[in-house]
Structure 1
Amino acid sequence: MIYLHHRPTAVLLPNRTQSRLTQDDRTALGAHRLAVLSLACRAHNLPAPVIMRSNHGKPVCANAPLHFNHSHSQKNYALAFGFDAQTPLKNTQFYNAKPDLGANLGAGVGVDVEDLDRAVNFSALANSRFSDDERKRWQANGTAAAWFAIWCAKEAVLKAHGLGIRLNLRELNTHAAADDMAGFAQHARIGRFYYRCFSVNHAMLAVAHRDEKTLWDLVWV
């Protein structure tokens, strides 16, 4: 089961004075992440999570079968997490794995959120970051929501696997259902991941996981 947590940044950062997030703001969001994950671990009779970074820079839990990922935009914060027996506790193979190898890569969840009013050169980025199929899908719709659904899905899939941007985004093609809000992405280096997209607080949010059923059992918290 995947748990999905979303809050407007205005709620989490009520004293924020600048339009862009500061380092103090990012630290506060990190503290909020730890608080949510600690409560979840306690509810599952697990110790408070100890967060470390893998060789790929991805935060991981070192002492409990917890996988998680968070993302923030200027106006929105999202955290996806779950408990999985396959998630490593403290596996040296995980921390020493090569970027595109390692048995434990891909055991987690990925999430990405983007504000729909973010200033983006849609055409230029679609040409450089979207596959041909994705670019045609976006051009057939033409909306910011359709563009960000593709973008966030790709980002969430890569974050779920743990490669980040080490894989060329044009090489990762998303295969969407009719409404473009769910589907899967597949690549020889990472296998297949499923994703779902949601419109929340004038933003697009995508969450990705290796197992399709787990993704559809998603619970908002």
Structure 2
Amino acid sequence: MTTREIEIHVQALAQLLEKKKTDFADLRSFNHYQKQQIQARRNQLLSQQLECAIDKLIFAKHEHGKPFLSSHSLHFNHSHSQQYYALAMSERVQDIGIDVEEMDRKVRYDALARHAFHPEEYQIWQQQDQDIEYWFRVWTTKEAILKASGLGIRLDLNSLNT
């Protein structure tokens, strides 16, 4: 491991996938394939970081389903969007979370902000003329924090003020 607190790897999701959605009979089959490819890439990156064979990685899950390495002290979290894959790793930071999104994603920004943003975040967003970059900073920060906690979306997002 290098001396950095957190290592982050980001790449185009298309680079991980040899097949396309159109190669599959249904979306469920494609999603299963995509999940397998993402896990394979995660395992490859973790084994490279740890300088060990992939088969030496032993995974377990925390109470709420967050995966972790029971075989090593490297902590990680990963995320993917329609276009990107991201993996964060750290020897020192145990509660690590990451989220990746595309800025051109079609979202009902105001409706989701009203539901998920803390009142102060929503007020700032309104003061900034509903700036999309601010919206994504708040959204991805919330996602990463919830993923770091291992709780996922079990908390009310609007109770979390980023």
- TM-score normalised according to structure 1 size: 0.63
- What CA deviation, in whole Å up to 9, does each residue of 1:28-77 have, x standing for no partner? 0111000000111117xxx9321121121101111111110000001011
Candidates 21, 25, 40, aligned match of 1:31: 40
Q: Quick one: which amino acid aligns to residue 53 of structure 1?
A: K
State the alpha-carbon separation in 2 of the partners of residues 9 and 169 from structure 1: 27
**Secondary structure of the corresponding residue to residue 56 of structure 1:** coil
Aligned position for 1:110: 97
Q: Quick one: which amino acid aligns to residue 129 of structure 1?
A: A
Candidates 165, 169, 173, aligned match of 2:161: 173
Higher strand proportion (structure 1 or 2): 1
State the alpha-carbon separation in 2 of the partners of residues 140 and 16 from structure 1: 42
Q: Is 2:21 the partner of 1:17?
A: yes
Aligned position for 1:208: none
State the alpha-carbon separation in 2 of the partners of residues 119 and 13 from structure 1: 23
Q: Is 2:61 the partner of 1:53?
A: yes
Aligned position for 2:51: 42
**Secondary structure of the corresponding residue to residue 173 of structure 1:** coil
State the alpha-carbon separation in 2 of the partners of residues 164 and 61 from structure 1: 18
- TM-score normalised according to structure 2 size: 0.85
Aligned position for 2:118: 131
Aligned position for 2:81: 73
Please state how far the C-alpha of 1:144 moved relative to its aligned partner.
2.2
Higher helix proportion (structure 1 or 2): 2
Q: Which runs of 5+ in 2 are unaligned?
A: none
Q: Quick one: which amino acid aligns to residue 38 of structure 1?
A: S
Q: How large is the Cα RMSD of the aligned pairs?
A: 1.8
State the alpha-carbon separation in 2 of the partners of residues 39 and 166 from structure 1: 33
State the alpha-carbon separation in 2 of the partners of residues 76 and 11 from structure 1: 9
Map residues 192-207 of structure 1 onto 2, 5 A cutoff: none
The alignment of Structure 1 onto Structure 2 pairs a total of residues equal to: 149
Q: Is 2:158 the partner of 1:150?
A: no
Please state how far the C-alpha of 1:22 moved relative to its aligned partner.
1.7
State the alpha-carbon separation in 1 of the partners of residues 39 and 102 from structure 2: 19
**Residues 42 and 48, structure 1, Cα contact 8 Å, conserved in 2:** no
Q: Quick one: which amino acid aligns to residue 167 of structure 1?
A: L
Q: Quick one: which amino acid aligns to residue 166 of structure 1?
A: R
State the alpha-carbon separation in 2 of the partners of residues 169 and 114 from structure 1: 17
Aligned position for 1:122: 109
